Structure 1
Amino acid sequence: MPSRGPKDQRNVAKRAFQEVVTESLPRLLAAFPDMPVIVAGDLDVIERGHQPPHKVFGAWEYSFYDSFQAAGLTDAFRHLHPDEVAHSWFGRTGNGFRFDHLFVSTPRADRVMACDYDQEAREAGLTDHAVMTLRLCLPSASLEQGEAPATSTC
């Protein structure tokens, strides 16, 4: 997510990026109808109802977060932790934000086994963001051509 540069241009670049991503999401899912699609990253947006609330975010930023669900993607962390307050980045004042998100195609959301934030690298000063982890249960692929895929054991 573009978030650097002259202050008067940051939201212009951020909005342009969000518009391109929003337009691309349906095509991405359509290109891989039989596969799980995973979209992850530091999106520099928070979800509606974020705790604590941050008034600096505009309706257009919340709409960007919502565009993932509208396109057929599920927030993997929220899917498993509907009420948990978690943050992936902390500002200089100590305010927490859940900026980092991991979405999976909604038809595969039932295969999300774990999705969490690991703060260790951030706390060690290696990065300013928490690491997101995902465990997704997938059926094993058949090695023989023409065989039906084996069922998963997850």
Structure 2
Amino acid sequence: MKIASYNLNGIGGRLPILLQWLALAEPDIVCLQELKAPQEKFPENAIRDAGYDVVWHGQSRWNGVALLSRVGKIHETRRGLPGDPADEQSRYIEAAIGGTLVAGLYLPNGNPAPGPKFDYKMRWMARLDAHLETLFDLEAPVVACGDFNVIPTDLDVYKPENWKGDALFAPEAKAAYRRLLDRGWTDAIRHLHPDERLYSFWAYWRRSFERDAGIRIDHMLLNKAARETLKAAGVDRRPRGWEKTSDHAPVWIELDAAPAGSTKTKRRR
């Protein structure tokens, strides 16, 4: 089963990019971030016509997350990260899909740091840590994926010196991400590519993509049950080279697990 995560940087203008990539890559489950669309403006019909069931948590102009499945119905289990009833930002959605629990997230950027936005980022990471702790020991595979807005190590950035003082590379953010790994969560891409420079984001300026001057901020974390079935993981760089594309590229994993009690949805014609 192939599970992918993709920050679209706006689904309204990049729906053709998404549909082209879905047809090319044929992922079974997809986590989308940064929809930048209110709930009623999400292109549900186009996604379903492409052969995917879908649930989404939209927000006007900012944020927004979605889950897509072509391997059976999506059984939503949570919308919004627990721990702060006053938090109205659409950054977390969770569902059981084909025997796997999938948590899709869009972690706050946190810039400028220090400041209120960075404080919110760190509170959000603490809430994420607390919630994922309740999921880790489930017998079913659990995949927590999305745009974490954290560069974990120097290996994950083209020029570390250029990111000093940025919230994505702040020691506090890196330490919070490290705590997730210390609790047992496996960074799938780094687990299978321990020494390789793999990036998932390239800025639009200074030909960053062409020079491969990127950062790795899109991650897929696995609990023990999911890690034991991990076959492959990587970054699909192809969409980043297309016209009018997102500044992110999809990240993906393959699990050696057939979806429980479901068959792949046929693409509508």
The TM tier, using the shorter chain, reads 0.7 to 0.9
Distance 2:219 2:232 in 1: 14
Distance 1:64 1:107 in 2: 23
Structure 1 equivalent of residue 164 of structure 2: 55
Structure 1 equivalent of residue 248 of structure 2: 129
Q: TM-score, normalised by structure 1?
A: 0.78
> Runs in 1 of length 4+ with deviation above 4 angstroms?
4-7, 139-143
Amino acid at match of 2:217: F
Is 2:124 the counterpart of 1:17? yes
8 Å contact 2:110–2:118 — kept in the other structure? no
Structure 1 equivalent of residue 143 of structure 2: 38
Amino acid at match of 1:26: E
Deviations 1:104-141 (A, max 9, x none): 11343231111111112222133111101111012675
Percentage identity across paired residues of the two chains = 28
Distance 1:5 1:140 in 2: 39
Q: TM-score, normalised by structure 2?
A: 0.47
Shift of 1:72: 1.9
Distance 1:60 1:123 in 2: 33
Deviations 1:45-91 (A, max 9, x none): 11223243242322211112212212221011111111110110013
8 Å contact 2:143–2:226 — kept in the other structure? no
Most deviating of 75-84 and 57-66: 57-66
Residue 29 to residue 6, structure 1, CA distance change in 2 (3 Å): same
Shift of 1:5: 8.1
Residue 117 to residue 142, structure 1, CA distance change in 2 (3 Å): closer
Structure 2 equivalent of residue 151 of structure 1: none
8 Å contact 2:192–2:232 — kept in the other structure? yes
Distance 1:5 1:60 in 2: 13
Shift of 1:97: 0.6
Amino acid at match of 2:187: D
8 Å contact 1:25–1:71 — kept in the other structure? no
Amino acid at match of 2:109: S
Shift of 1:142: 7.7
Distance 1:110 1:104 in 2: 9
Equivalent of 1:106 in 224, 228, 251: 224
Structure number with greater CO (CA < 8 Å, separation at least 6) is 2
Is 2:97 the counterpart of 1:97? no
Structure 2 spans left out of the alignment, 5+ residues: 1-106, 263-269
Amino acid at match of 1:126: T
Residue 142 to residue 12, structure 1, CA distance change in 2 (3 Å): closer
Distance 1:67 1:60 in 2: 11
Residue 22 to residue 142, structure 1, CA distance change in 2 (3 Å): closer
Structure 1 equivalent of residue 69 of structure 2: none
Residue 13 to residue 111, structure 1, CA distance change in 2 (3 Å): same
Equivalences, count: 141
8 Å contact 2:200–2:214 — kept in the other structure? yes
Residue 5 to residue 77, structure 1, CA distance change in 2 (3 Å): closer
Shift of 1:39: 0.4
